[in-house]
Amino acid sequence: MPNLKLIPVDFIVELATAQKSAHAAKPYRQLIEEWFRKNHSEAEGYEALRAIDDSFPSAAKQVNIGEEMLVVLPGCVLGRFRTDVRSANMLVMIVREIHRRMTIPEAESRKAKRPEDIRQTLWTWPHVMRVMKRKGIIADDTKKAVFGEMIERILGDKVKPNSIRRANYGNYSIVDKYDFDLKDADKDIIKEITALFIPLFMPKN
């Protein structure tokens, strides 16, 4: 028996898309958008919001979160992850969420009630770079400086210029190591980060 205290997002999307106009669907859309934002899950909610927007094409430009790219990504980002607006924007949101988890203030982290609000002190950008290479998001020959510049571009004023591309924080040797050469701790971190990229590979409705 389903938990009646929890309303599935798909049900709210179904209600929204059944409305006669984008204006009538707006409260449902705002509810979903606010819930995902509050729970730091914008990437997971991206397709739900798109499903509502696509139901009202005449109003798409007014409410669409995917009409314009949040960031123009560099050439090291491959295929649809760079050229498709939906995929590019989702990638940007995922990287920003990774950065958020890496920089949560310690005081907030100690009071966290959810796993995603605990500061990830062991995550590093080399871990992220390895995942993005292995998942085919960035080119296999991407260098540290190019990767760092891309992350800095995505994060904008959240980081200082050159703070990632020139930083020595993190062991970049793990990027291209064989899986069996990785430490167990690194394997666990890579699994955690890989999970955040899952929305990028979910089939489109």
Q: Is residue 57 domain-shared with residue 98, that is, in the same domain?
A: no
Tell me the average pLDDT across 75-102. Answer: 93
Is the per-residue pLDDT at 121 higher than 60? yes
Question: What is the sign, positive or negative, of the torsion defined by CA atoms of 177, 180, 185, 189?
Answer: positive
- Tokens representing residue 87 in the block: 């995929």
Give pLDDT, residue 15.
Answer: 83
Q: Is 185 helix (H, G, I), strand (E, B) or coil?
A: helix
Q: For residue 28, tell me if it sits in a domain.
A: yes
Q: Is residue 193 domain-shared with residue 96, that is, in the same domain?
A: yes
Structural domain containing residue 49 = 9-63
Give pLDDT, residue 136.
Answer: 97
Q: Is residue 163 domain-shared with residue 88, that is, in the same domain?
A: yes
Q: Is residue 197 domain-shared with residue 139, that is, in the same domain?
A: yes
Q: Is residue 18 domain-shared with residue 56, that is, in the same domain?
A: yes
Give pLDDT, residue 43.
Answer: 66
Q: Is residue 29 domain-shared with residue 108, that is, in the same domain?
A: no
Is the per-residue pLDDT at 97 higher than 90? yes
Distance separating alpha carbons of residues 127 and 139, to the nearest angstrom: 15
pTM: 0.73
Q: Is residue 101 domain-shared with residue 147, that is, in the same domain?
A: yes
Comparison of pLDDT for 154 and 5, the residue scoring more: 154
* In the block, residue with structure tokens 């291209």: 176
Q: How far is CA 171 from CA 12, 119, 128, 168, in A?
A: 44, 19, 11, 8
